[in-house]
Structures are given as structure tokens and as C-alpha cells.
Amino acid sequence: MLTGFLLSLREGLEIALVIGIVIGALRKMESTEFLPVVWLGAGCAAGLCLLTAVLLTWLGGELEGRSEQLFEGFAMLTAAGLLTWMIFWLHGQARSMRQKLETEVRISLTAPGKTALFGVAFLAVGREGLELALFLVAARAVSGTIGTITGSVLGLVAAAFLGWLVFSSTRKLSLTGFFRVTNMILIIFAAGLVAHGMHELIEAGLIPAMIDPVWNTNTIFSETSLLGEFMNTLLGYNGNPTLTEVLAYAGYFLLIFFGLRRINSAQLAVPNHP
């Protein structure tokens, strides 16, 4: 449940911020008569994302044996890839997100009809929502359907409340701190998804295990215990991993380290203009 909550809280808050920026831009331009178009675009995108999540969940439930292992394995690896891209993008581009969205809104208002503004809201919400749908499908394979659904609903409610606070309250929330903390949690979760995905592909016979297992700590700290299940879901803990899983888990952290270091170096190399 915690995984679904964190993923939905993070992505839901990004969606709330996007909608808030678009609405704020319309108010700044004194074009509030177009607000229903924004809500229509956001609502259609949310409906499409929900349908996608339902279809992917249904498809995963219909598959059995090796087909199910392949589906879950590739779903986890794809979700980990999207999570990584999102972390890199937010780390390097988040500062200009408001300016880019406001520019898109301004351009869409100059276009004839309301299709352009509808598209801005639809694409902005749809991008985050489709990512969340895939994340939750991958999380469901790890933590179960009921827990994932419950956590995601609570996360979206909390995200809507935080989004309302950001744009209506005089007290400023530390979004930078929030995203920094959630980035760290999501990096660990994504590493766990990579390890889980590799495990499924090993079970399906697609890739070798090399050494199985490398160690076995289940006699000391079982992954089936209450704390073990929590660590397994959030951190990817496996009491008896294969060498392939260990290498994939460690390799992911190296990828994140060098990726973020490269982004930081590129940002420092850009001269600051007065």
C-alpha cells in the first residue's frame, strides 16, 4: 500500500501543479472563460489513464506461467525506466516547467478554436497519468492489487489536498524539499523494480541467473515476515537473490549516480546571464 501511496502522491502532485499553472496562466491573461476547456482536457486524460491502468491490470491477470512472468518482468523494467527518466528530467528541467507551460497556454490562446488549449491540458495530464498507470501496474505485481489500489486512492487524495494548499494558501510549502525526498525514495524503489523485473525474466528463462543464490539471509531476516515484505516492496529486498539481480540492483545505483552527476556538471557549465 505504501508504494502505491508514494507513487500516486508524487505523480498526483505533479498533475495538480500542472493544472494549477495552466489555470494561473489563464487568470493572469484574464481568459478564465476557457477554464472549462482545461478541466475537460484534464478529465479526458484522467479517464484515458484510468482505462489504460484497468486494461493493463486485466491483461496481467489473464496471463499465466511464462507469459505472466514476461509481462510482469518487462512492465517492471519499463516502469523503472520511466521513473529514472522522470527523476533525471525533474532534476534538470523542473525550474523551467512553469515558464514552458505558460508559453504553451499563451500560444494556444492565439490559435483559432479551443482545441489547442484542450491539447495542452490533455497532454500535460496524460503524460503524468500514463506514467502513474504503468507504475501502479508494476507495483501491483509486487505488493498486490488491493494494497496498490488503496494506496493509490489515498495518495491521489493527499496530492489533490497538497495541490490546493500550494495555490490557495498564503503559506508556502517546500516543494523542492518534497521532490528531493521523494526522488530518493523513488530511486530506491526503481532499483527494486529492476531487481524484481530481472527475477521475473530469470524465472521465465529469458536471461541466466549466473549464481543462484549468491547468499541466503532468509533464516536471519525472512522476506516473508511483516518487515521483510515491507522491505521487499519498497526496497526490493530479496533474501536469496541471484547474481544477475544483485548486479542489476547495484548497476542501477551506478547509473543514477553518474547520470545525476553529469546533469549537475552540465548545469554548472551553463553561464548565468544577468
**HEC letters along 70-131:** HHHHHHHHHHHHHHHHHHHHHHHHHHHHHHHHHHHHHHHHHCCCCHHHHHHHHHHHHHHHHH
Helix 115-143 and helix 35-62, axial crossing angle in degrees, nearest 10: 30
Helical spans, DSSP H, in the chain = 2-28, 35-62, 65-93, 97-110, 115-143, 145-168, 175-203, 226-235, 243-269
Q: Give the pLDDT band (50/70/90) at residue 92.
A: low
pLDDT value, residue 274: 46
pLDDT value, residue 271: 56
pLDDT tens, position by position, 53-63: 888 888 877 88
**C-alpha 73: how far from its chain's center?**
17
pLDDT tens, position by position, 158-205: 988 888 887 776 455 556 667 777 788 888 888 999 999 999 999 999
Q: What average pLDDT score do residues 92-106 get?
A: 74
CB 47 within 8 A of CB 109: no
Report how far residue 234's alpha carbon sits from residue 3's, in angstroms, rounded to the nearest whole number: 6
Expressed in angstroms, the distance from the first to the final Cα of the chain is 47
pLDDT tens, position by position, 106-165: 888 887 767 888 988 898 888 888 888 888 888 777 777 787 888 888 988 998 888 888
Q: What average pLDDT score do residues 217-246 get?
A: 86
